[in-house]
Amino acid sequence: MKVRKIKIFSGEEFEVPQGIQRIDHRATHGWQLRYGGTKLFSDHTPDGSGAAASLQRATQELLKRIARLPAPSLLQRAPSVNKSNQLPPGITGPVVRMRRDSQTRDCSLMVLIPRFGDKPQRRTIYIGTENTYTVERYEKALEKAVAMRREAEEAYQKASTRAKRAAAREMKAQLQVGAS
């Protein structure tokens, strides 16, 4: 799991896991958990002496949430405001092009297939040529594209959650070794 070093107002330095933020504002001092909702773990001291204990409580809660909640998705859920059509995110088209050694244009939809930890792939779903294109063929291709994208998003989400949980288990093991 990603961690970063944070120096608080008292000068103490901590390694803080991703998903936990430091809050130091007037009379509020603590660690805010931001995973599956927010929760503040207060230091209960104005001088920052309780920061280590509150960070430990926040980290334990983070590990519990990672174990039971899906990983937050980084995939775009709605079409871009600049998109000129109403196609779902990750689907573009119809793309019309002229293939080499052909006198007829063909039409297809492009689907961006996200892959967790790897570059996304692009898949083409053929609709037809300028002679065979119909609204029905377009709608059938669109259904196929939406299903393909949905399956890819589900696979991405599962892989993301699996990776997040593995990192959390590793961190938990390190914390237990450090506590011994």
112-138 pLDDT tens trace: 999 998 999 999 999 999 889 999 999
The pLDDT assigned to 179 comes to 66
Residues 57 and 91 in one domain: no
Last residue of a domain, one of 21, 42, 69: 69
The domain in which residue 135 lies consists of 75-180
Whether the predicted model's global pTM rises above the 0.85 cut: no
pLDDT mean over 53-76: 90
User: The tokens of 169 are what?
Assistant: 């288990």
The pLDDT assigned to 53 comes to 93
Give CA separation, 69 vs 23, 42, 47, 72, 157, in Å: 24, 23, 34, 9, 11
Beta strand extents in 18-104 (DSSP E only): 20-25, 28-34, 38-42, 91-98
Residue recorded with tokens 């990672």: 66
- Examine the pLDDT at 102 and tell me if it is beyond 90: no
Q: Name residue 6's amino acid.
A: I
Residues 60 and 82 in one domain: no
Q: With contact defined as beta carbons under 8 Å apart, do 92 and 122 qualify?
A: no
Residues 111 and 42 in one domain: no
The pLDDT assigned to 126 comes to 94
Residues 159 and 178 in one domain: yes
Last residue of a domain, one of 39, 69, 99: 69
Residues 106 and 151 in one domain: yes
Q: With contact defined as beta carbons under 8 Å apart, do 51 and 14 qualify?
A: yes
Number of domains present in the structure of the chain: 2
CA gyration radius for the chain?
24
Last residue of a domain, one of 34, 52, 69: 69
